[in-house]
Amino acid sequence: MENNGEEALMELMKPEFSSTFVKTAAILYKMDKLGFLDVIDGMLSDKQTISAVMQFLTGDGMLKLLENKDVLLKLLNTVADERSVNALGNALDLFSVMQHKGLIDPIMGIMNDDQSFTALMSLLTNDLTMNIIANFDTITKSLGSIDMSMIPKYADLIKGIEKTFTEQTVTPIGGLTGIYGATENPDAKKGMGILFAIIRSIGKNCMSDFKTEEKK
């Protein structure tokens, strides 16, 4: 038995193994300097830790990892890429900001609520949304030509129409006499002035979009 041990020791002392021993010793020295050996020694001395590690190594989780090792290696290669690392860092920063601003909880609430999630998916995939996406450049170009400072005026126009249906009694007007009588009202005169001004502007600005025929 002792002879076998001496023979094994002599075998390991051959020159071809010396470089391996030197590298191994260097690695162990670095691990000791960094404190890894103390951590490993502590883990090996703690029965509870050893039990947990052995349970992990022999459990279903480890078997699943081994079964999907190719996928994991591909994922690790992707994560190891510098651009991927930067992208992940930016994504984590974004989620951190969203969490700080309180946006994550509402989003999670929508995702966990089947009714809200279905409504959101319907909004994103309906014909109107698809049409807007298909004509996005045209829509944004057209909206860019609108003077947004005039929006309060548009709102006043809509409110005026709304009040007609909610607060006023509409009286039918018949014939030219009825029209003439209605125009005697000061508000009606103002309204007709605005209406004809709009009609003139439409005719001026939309002439190129319609075929017109001058009356002879």
In a domain, residue 12? The reply is no
Tally DSSP H helices, then E strands, for the chain.
14, 0
| 212 has a pLDDT exceeding 70 | no
Residue 83 lies in a domain: no
Q: What is the mean pLDDT of residues 78-107?
A: 84
Q: Which whole number is the average pLDDT over 86-91?
A: 84
Token duo for residue 213: 């025929």
Domain containing 122 equals: 113-146
Residue 9 has pLDDT above 70, yes or no: no
The reply to whether 56 falls in a domain is yes
Number of alpha carbons in the 13 Å side-chain half-sphere of residue 196: 5
CA-CA-CA-CA torsion sign (17, 41, 50, 68)? negative
5 pLDDT band, cuts 50/70/90, is low
pLDDT band per the 50, 70, 90 thresholds, residue 124: confident
Q: Does position 2 have pLDDT exceeding 60, yes or no? A: no
Between 104 and 78, the more confident residue is 104
Query: Does one domain contain both 26 and 46?
Result: yes
Do 122 and 158 belong to one domain?
no
Is residue 138 domain-shared with residue 172, that is, in the same domain?
Answer: no
**Number of compact structural domains in the chain:** 3
Tell me if 97 is assigned to some domain. Answer: no
Please tell me whether residues 153 and 141 are part of one structural domain. Answer: no
In the prediction, which pLDDT does 8 show? Answer: 63
| Residues 135 and 157 both lie in one domain | no
In whole angstroms, give the CA distance from residue 66 to residue 203: 74
Task: Check whether 199 has a pLDDT greater than 70.
Answer: yes
Question: Is the per-residue pLDDT at 95 higher than 80?
Answer: yes
46 and 61 assigned to the same domain: yes
| Most confidently predicted of 1-15, 41-55, 113-127 | 113-127
pLDDT for 210 equals 64
CA end-to-end span of the chain: 127
* Shared domain check, 199 and 173: yes
- What single-letter amino acid sits at 114? D
| pTM score of the predicted model | 0.37
Task: Give residue 203's pLDDT.
Answer: 82
Within a domain: residue 76? no
Same structural domain, 142 and 191: no
Report the C-alpha gap between 10 and 12 in whole angstroms.
5
Question: Residue 107 domain-assigned?
Answer: no
pLDDT at 3 > cutoff 80: no
Domain presence at residue 122: yes
Asked if the structure places residue 92 within a domain, the reply is: no
Estimate the share of the chain in helix, then strand, then coil, as percent rounded to the nearest 5.
85, 0, 15
CB atoms inside a 10 Å sphere around CB 51 = 10
Backbone φ, ψ for residue 86 (5° rounding):
-65, -40
For residues 135 and 160, membership in a common domain is answered with no
